[in-house]
Structure 1
Amino acid sequence: MGWNTHGAYARDGDLIQLVGLRHKNFIFRLRAGAEFQSHRGVLKHDEIIGKPWGSQVFSHNGSPFFLLPPSLADILAITKRNTQILYPKDIGFILVMMGIGPGQHVVEAGTGSGALTTAFAFAVGPQGHVSTYEIRSDFQDLARKNISLLGLDDRVAFKLRDIREGFDEKEADALFLDVPNPWDYISQVRAALKPGGNFGCILPTTNQVQKVLLALREEHFAFLEVCETFLRWYRAHPARLRPTDRMVGHTGYLVFARPVLVGDENQSQELLEEAGITFLNNGDENDLHGYE
């Protein structure tokens, strides 16, 4: 059972969020007969089951909480991690830009703690599938545990392997790399993605972005795009609306591209060039100036 619960009332087995004073919150799964204990008191699960979402519940010592279904952002905020995870602002943009949706087969390399894996598994739905590759067993073990706690493990195949050996998948709908050197694996990506599918990766520096752009051009990927996202929160007071003192700035460069078919004699060279397909020669690989 996942956490995207349906209906107006909390049910046995639902993942819930309790939000108390000073925005202290707890997320756990309801189990009939169980108890939740914290420094704010004890709550019996049986007293929560059947309560309407958005209502208040109270611990044995009177501490109040709002009963809410947790959002994906709430889940990612409490995910146990042994690596830096992607920020929700990047994850949401990745899902939209790569068109991730129900029933798709998505491939990921660089599982880490499983934050993006979680978002992919949520987005593809029960009929979709996520294949995620990792070379470190300790990272994979934690990610597997995180996914299992959310009830999404039936949507995810965990693979402990170096992607230099290639991917098992063919004609995947989308493929994302969160690895230090994605330019070394673009030919493997090309073999795993369906023509016209969506590729994405995230990188911390512009040098790395240039390398992956060159590798994508060499493998005839089109519609290359590079961006970074920024998020600014506002104080939600009608009479004193203003930005908070902090904003989430640069967290990485996102690169997106799509593999297209080339080589047909009837193809328009003008269209290929407009889409970003350039056949490198005469040392062009050493000159990225003017590339759009």
Structure 2
Amino acid sequence: MALLLVHDDREYLLERGETLETDLGILEVPDDAAAGEVVSTHLGEPFTVRELRGPDCFNHFERTGAPMMPRDIGLIMGHTGVSEGDRVLDAGTGTGVLAAYLGRAGAEVVTYEQDAEFAEVARENMELAGVDDRVDVRTGDVTEHLDVGPVDVLTLDTEDAPAVVEHAVDLLTPGGYLAVYSPFVEGTRDVARTAREAGLSGIETLETIQREMDFDDRGSRPSTAGVGHTGFLTFARRE
């Protein structure tokens, strides 16, 4: 698995044994480099070795579009309780950040991406995250592959999510959870209605908003930069 080499605000993603040339000097990563170890360039500039964690995957994955934000992933992880040994069906892989988080939590994930090039990038990202043995990235339309259940958690980030939600009772194990991300209210409303019609319970929709805090000599207050909105998440559960 790749490592992060960190110097102040710089981060480089490198493999053990790899050599990096920068303005801070030539850095050779030892074959036995371990997290917490300090490695210096030939000019004496120190870099700290770190193993990748979830946020590092978000920051360093090759991107094929806007990935799901950690704040949304956190809600999905918290509201579904996904954990080691769970089986997850995911659709709308994209960059694969959500799938990687699920895999790093110990879940066995099958994720569908319609764009073949995006799917190949996601596979490379799963390898980078060290979860390629738990996350199976498949190319295709999930609506044509609804025979993979039953699963404990169903996560969707696709425009045709309602067409999958229609089959949620058949796809989910008893007590299993559905989580659907949508950037638009209209799509969210369709998902919630379909979930009710499908017989799911505990249906709720949350808007994800997050604001940073500003601290200065005058005082402390929420940041006025941006509205912090990312999207809408609908959760439901099979009885």
Contact 1:118 1:147 in 2 (8 A): yes
Q: Which has the larger radius of gyration?
A: 1
Q: Partner residue of 1:86?
A: 68
Question: Judging changes above 3 Å, is the alpha-carbon distance between structure 1 residues 88 and 220 closer, same or farther for their aligned structure 2 residues?
Answer: same
State the 1:57 CA deviation: 3.3
Q: Partner residue of 1:42?
A: 26
Q: Partner residue of 2:47?
A: 65
Counterpart pick for 1:156 among 131, 135, 138: 135
Q: Partner residue of 1:277?
A: none
1:106-137 CA deviation, whole Å, 9 max, x = no partner?
A: 1101111111111111112xxx4111112111
Q: Secondary structure at the match of 2:212?
A: strand
RMSD, matched Cα: 2.5
Letter in 1 for 2:87: H
The farther-off stretch of 39-48 and 212-221 is 39-48
Q: Partner residue of 1:25?
A: 11
State the 1:58 CA deviation: 2.2
1:186-225 to structure 2, matched below 5 A, reads 186-225=165-204
State the 1:79 CA deviation: 0.9
Contact 2:52 2:129 in 1 (8 A): no
Structure richer in strand, relative to its length: 2
Q: Does 1:134 align with 2:113?
A: yes
Q: Secondary structure at the match of 1:168?
A: coil
Q: Does 1:231 align with 2:215?
A: no
Letter in 2 for 1:213: A
Question: Judging changes above 3 Å, is the alpha-carbon distance between structure 1 residues 244 and 214 closer, same or farther for their aligned structure 2 residues?
Answer: closer
Letter in 1 for 2:6: V
State the 1:18 CA deviation: 2.3
State the 1:172 CA deviation: 0.5
State the 1:230 CA deviation: 2.5
Contact 1:112 1:140 in 2 (8 A): yes
Higher relative contact order at CA 8 Å, sep ≥6: structure 1 or structure 2? 2
Contact 2:168 2:198 in 1 (8 A): no
| Ranges in structure 2 where 5+ consecutive residues have no aligned partner | none
Q: How many residues align?
A: 239
TM superposition outliers: structure 1 runs of 4+ over 4 Å? 235-245
In structure 1, C-alpha distance between the alignment counterparts of 2:31 and 2:117, rounded to whole Å: 38
Contact 2:71 2:208 in 1 (8 A): yes
Letter in 2 for 1:30: R
Contact 1:164 1:188 in 2 (8 A): no
Q: Does 1:103 align with 2:85?
A: yes
Letter in 1 for 2:209: F
Q: Partner residue of 1:11?
A: none
| Ranges in structure 1 where 5+ consecutive residues have no aligned partner | 2-14, 261-292
Letter in 2 for 1:49: A
Contact 1:231 1:247 in 2 (8 A): no
In structure 2, C-alpha distance between the alignment counterparts of 1:66 and 1:136, rounded to whole Å: 37
State the 1:180 CA deviation: 1.1
1:220-274 CA deviation, whole Å, 9 max, x = no partner?
A: 01000111223333468899766556467111100000122xxxxxxxxxxxxxx
In structure 2, C-alpha distance between the alignment counterparts of 1:242 and 1:18, rounded to whole Å: 34
